[in-house]
C-alpha cells in the first residue's frame, strides 16, 4: 500500500490537486492493492497549468 500512497502523493503535487479521496482500498487474492473508488479535486487557480485536466470536466454534472 505504501507504493500506492506515494503515487497518489506525486499525482497530488503534479496536477495541483486540492483533494484525493480513496474509499476503499482493497487487496486482491494475489496480494495486489487496488482502489475501488476515487474522488479528485483540482485547484481552479491552476487551470492555466493543468489545461488537459480541466478540459476533461463534465459540466453537465456541475451545479449551476
Q: Percent of the chain at pLDDT above 70?
A: 100
Grid-cell match 493543468, residue found: 50
Q: What SS3 state is found at 37? A: coil
Q: Give dist(CA 44, CA 18) in Å, integer.
A: 9
pLDDT tens for each residue of 21-45: 999 889 999 999 888 999 999 999 9
Average pLDDT of the residues of the chain:
90
Q: Give dist(CA 60, CA 64) in Å, integer.
A: 9
Query: What domains can you pick out in the chain, each with its CATH number?
Result: 2-58 (3.30.470.20)
Question: At residue 17, does pLDDT exceed 90?
Answer: yes
Q: Are 24 and 37 in contact (CB under 8 A)?
A: yes
For residue 47, CA distances in Å to 13, 14, 25, 29, 43 come to 14, 13, 29, 40, 7
Banded pLDDT at 4 (limits 50, 70, 90)? confident
Amino acid at each position: 500500500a505504501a507504493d500506492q500512497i506515494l503515487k497518489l502523493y506525486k499525482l497530488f503535487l503534479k496536477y495541483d490537486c486540492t483533494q484525493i479521496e480513496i474509499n476503499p482500498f482493497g487487496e486482491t487474492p494475489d496480494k495486489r492493492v487496488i482502489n475501488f473508488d476515487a474522488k479528485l479535486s483540482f485547484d481552479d487557480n491552476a487551470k492555466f497549468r493543468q489545461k488537459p485536466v480541466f478540459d476533461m470536466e463534465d459540466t453537465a454534472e456541475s451545479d449551476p
